[in-house]
Amino acid sequence: MALDIPAADGLAGKVAIVAGAGARHDGIGNGRAAAILLAAAGARVLCVDRDRALAERTVAMIDEAGGTAVAFEADVTAGVDCEAMVDAALSRWGRLDVLDNNVGIGSRGNVVEEDPVRWRRVMEVNVDSMFHASRAAVPAMREAGGGAIVNVSSISALRPRGLTTYSVSKSAVIGLTRAMAVDHGPEGIRVNCVAPGPVYTPMVSGRGMTPEARERRVRASVLGIEGTGWDIGHAVRFLASDQARYITGQVLVVDGGTTLRGPERST
């Protein structure tokens, strides 16, 4: 008896939105990696970023590799911008199948040290953006017969380490993921979450990390290697693909085993 084994991941011809698809210079951040890998699988990608030039550079990289992508400028903390980006994908390609919610910022300190304005801003960027983007995307996915949403959280949600505001925001992302999975599973929409560990991206390098601090991050991994945006991009691509058709409401930790160690700070 011949086995019915899928030959591909089913992304060819689908339409994806990647929020936070830009990165400084030619660096590979989590969003840029996801956009490039989704396009490499045959998806048509709307590369969304608050800085249009950064999104356009991602599009240029995809074009050079023979993929299909368009840049779109949006502030995903604003509901009207999220509605506009979904409308842009629908106007250009007629459907929406994948949403990668990748936007996020960091913060340090405990509740006494944290500035209330900063607290609100982190929640706005890290959580509200995913609410607004998903709220705009779900009706379009429903119309297409289903889809996949991937939210990017952090291992800080699973292992707090002195980054209280950030940890709380990323915990909320996991809660949002699980609730949406239940709400929209009957509509054929899968919702999953990627929790990156201390991967080295343009955002991290831009903070002026010392070589010593970078080496500590490498040692925090039980594999003794450094993660990159590509590792997160591959996880997003998998969860968006048909290969993950029976996976929803889950948190995929991509950290080289960092969370298997103690809770000491690794940065």
Among the listed residues 198, 196, 157, the one whose alpha carbon sits nearest the alpha carbon of residue 34: 196
Among the listed residues 50, 29, 60, the one whose alpha carbon sits nearest the alpha carbon of residue 202: 29
Which entry of 39, 130, 132, 166 is annotated as an active-site residue? 166
166 catalytically annotated: yes
- Tallying the residues shown for the chain, one arrives at 267
Contacts of 110 (CB under 8 A, 6+ apart): 162, 164
The alpha-helical segments, DSSP class H, found in 68-209 are: 79-93, 116-123, 129-144, 164-184, 202-205
Complete DSSP assignment for 159-186: S--SBHHHHHHHHHHHHHHHHHHHHHGG
The residue type found at 26 is D
The residues annotated with a catalytic role in the active site are: 166
